[in-house]
Amino acid sequence: MSSQILSEQEAQRRESLSKIIEMGINPFPAELYPVTDYTEDIKQHFEEGKLVCLAGRMMSQRIMGKASFAELQDTKGRIQLYINRDELCPYEDKSLYNDLFKRYLDLGDIIGVKGVLFTTQVGETSVHVKELVLLSKALKPLPFPKTDADGRIHDAFTDPELRFRQRYVDLLVNPEVKNTFIKRSKTISSMRRFFEEFNYLEVETPILQPIPGGAAARPFITHHNALDMPLYLRIANELYLKRLIVGGFDGVFEFAKDFRNEGLDRTHNTEFTMLEIYVAFKDYNWMMDFTEKMIERTAIDVCGTTEIVVGENKISLKAPFKRVTMREAIIEFTGFDIDGKNESELRDACALNGITTDPSMGKGKLIDELFGEKCEGNYIQPVFITDYPIEMSPLCKKHRDNPELTERFELMINGKEIANAYSELNDHIDQRERFEEQMALSEKGDDEAMFIDQDFLRALEYGMPPTSGMGIGIDRFVMLLTNNPSIQEVLFFPQMRAENNAQIITFTDEEKQVLATFNNEKIQAITALRSKVDMSNKAWDSTTKNLVKLGCIQIYKSDDVVMVKRND
């Protein structure tokens, strides 16, 4: 038998499904349903008496004899339905109303309706239904929240783990969740339009890569059987996009899925979406201007304003944004000047500031820890943090005025990094030395140090024009624009621990005895079944109730005879 445990409601829905089939109705029809209208469009452009055809889920039902009300939810909203028995069933056969609608339809079922628009006496836009079709039977009940007389909501579908695992349910019963993902789509569309206005080319680069380059991160590794070689899920698309700049494109961008084999928290998911753009003959100063204009434009397109609220903070995304060097930031919040300091001095500074370090950390990681722990969270309004020490940026061009620094910026908003950009390193000799320094860190135990990409170095030898590149974490940017504190809220299907669905059912001797009496007969009258079982009435009642609870049997009435059906 199946190990699936059915609730009482699930068992009842399956029984209704059987009855619908007995009526000669296909509960899962294949043919097209000719939807011509949507709920919100109907309300915005209401025409009394207009014939409409729409489809969606039945989300409420109020049966009142020969006339009933229901509520239909489609992709845009909800609308009230009015169903009159004699108009839905104008001939002698009233089973469509009396049986299908009143007895066998459940909340969450997908239906199609045709009817005419009217307004009720209390002013509610409604559809007077003339035709009703079942399009899909729902076998699980939706977790509908309930509102009491005082307006308090009970039984809301709010448990985060359930919501993220069953996003399909979350979207159905929590309308604000759907709005978040609509805004996510608008965010990407707005950014794409902005880049295309400059005639930059959207491209695609490999997800499976022989060398995981372009960032300092731990990769996922797999094996290509036919080529007998290891491959890595990309951690960044930077080096491939730069190859295209070498190949002669002035500007290229990609919305890329990247993967990093690292921990999960409120701002990190192992699979995430990055936007990276590279533009020839530009530098990081130009890219700062370009980035703040894009952020401002996107905020207006998605939110309708540059003034947004994130948690308790009011943030203005109106350009221009403030600029602060990395050195100035660390001095401001720690009093320590990183300029000219060696690894030992930086390690001591971390210790004085209560920051834990380990021997594998070089100067770049130590400075990054100082900034991340003591400075980053203080930048609520947009600010470009500029001029990073060279040890932190192995792919970035040396600063034109100070060779100990690089021409790099990170955009901080609401205490988090939103964008990262460089004047890109195009000196292949300098780049090779930086890669070799990364390999030295790897040998010290840093498993996030970069690999040496020999083909990328070869590409640089053909000459790459002066270039600026910028990357934005789309997930974090959407969190900002939708006022969501967790990255899981802006991903349809965030990474979760494996769900344990295995269910082991151990039957009592009495339960085994009842199940054994079915033999090859799936359905029996309860009196016939009872006569075959030798146990007390009390034990019989207890045993059959538990078997119903476990979903092993169903008990129902047919033509005034109580029947028992064994579930396979």
Per-residue pLDDT of the chain (568 residues; tens, 9 = 90+): 445 678 889 999 999 999 999 999 999 999 999 999 999 999 999 999 999 999 999 999 999 989 999 999 999 999 999 999 999 999 999 999 999 999 999 999 999 999 999 999 999 999 999 999 999 999 999 998 777 667 677 678 888 989 999 999 999 999 999 999 999 999 999 999 999 999 999 999 999 999 888 887 889 999 999 999 999 999 999 999 999 999 999 999 999 999 999 888 888 899 999 999 999 999 999 999 999 999 999 999 999 999 999 999 999 999 999 999 999 999 999 999 998 899 999 999 999 999 998 888 888 889 989 999 999 999 999 999 999 888 788 778 999 999 888 999 999 999 999 999 999 999 999 888 888 887 777 666 666 666 788 999 999 999 999 999 999 999 999 999 999 999 999 999 999 888 765 455 667 888 888 888 887 777 888 888 888 888 888 888 888 888 887 778 888 877 778 888 887 6
Q: Which two tokens stand for residue 258?
A: 């990247």
Whole-angstrom distance, CA of residue 317 vs CA of residue 299: 7
Whole-angstrom distance, CA of residue 476 vs CA of residue 159: 22
What is the biggest distance separating any 2 CA atoms in the chain, rounded to whole angstroms?
97
The whole-number pLDDT of residue 517 equals 83
The whole-number pLDDT of residue 364 equals 84
Cis peptide, bond prior to residue 320, ω within 30 of zero: yes
The whole-number pLDDT of residue 37 equals 97
Contact 25, 135 (CB under 8 A): no
Q: Taking the complete model, does pTM exceed 0.75, yes or no? A: yes
Q: Which two tokens stand for residue 171?
A: 């979207």
Whole-angstrom distance, CA of residue 365 vs CA of residue 362: 6
Contact 554, 564 (CB under 8 A): yes
Given the DSSP bridges, would you call strands 110-119 and 78-84 parallel, antiparallel or unpaired?
Answer: unpaired
The whole-number pLDDT of residue 216 equals 77
Identify the CA nearest to 250 among candidates 468, 41, 85, 44. 468
| Dihedral over Cα of 128, 130, 136, 140: its sign | positive
The whole-number pLDDT of residue 393 equals 80
**What's the Cα-to-Cα distance from 430 to each of 365, 450, 457, rounded to whole Å?**
20, 15, 10
Whole-angstrom distance, CA of residue 506 vs CA of residue 63: 42
Determine which helix (DSSP H) or strand (DSSP E) holds 191, and give its type and residue range.
Answer: helix 175-197
In 320-473, which residue ranges form alpha helices assigned H by DSSP?
Answer: 326-334, 343-352, 363-374, 428-443, 454-461
The whole-number pLDDT of residue 488 equals 95
Identify the CA nearest to 237 among candidates 256, 211, 221. 256
Contact 538, 523 (CB under 8 A): no
Whole-angstrom distance, CA of residue 13 vs CA of residue 109: 10
The whole-number pLDDT of residue 557 equals 76
User: Residue 248: CB partners within 8 Å, gap ≥ 6?
Assistant: none
The whole-number pLDDT of residue 563 equals 85
The whole-number pLDDT of residue 444 equals 66
Whole-angstrom distance, CA of residue 210 vs CA of residue 173: 44
Contact 174, 201 (CB under 8 A): no
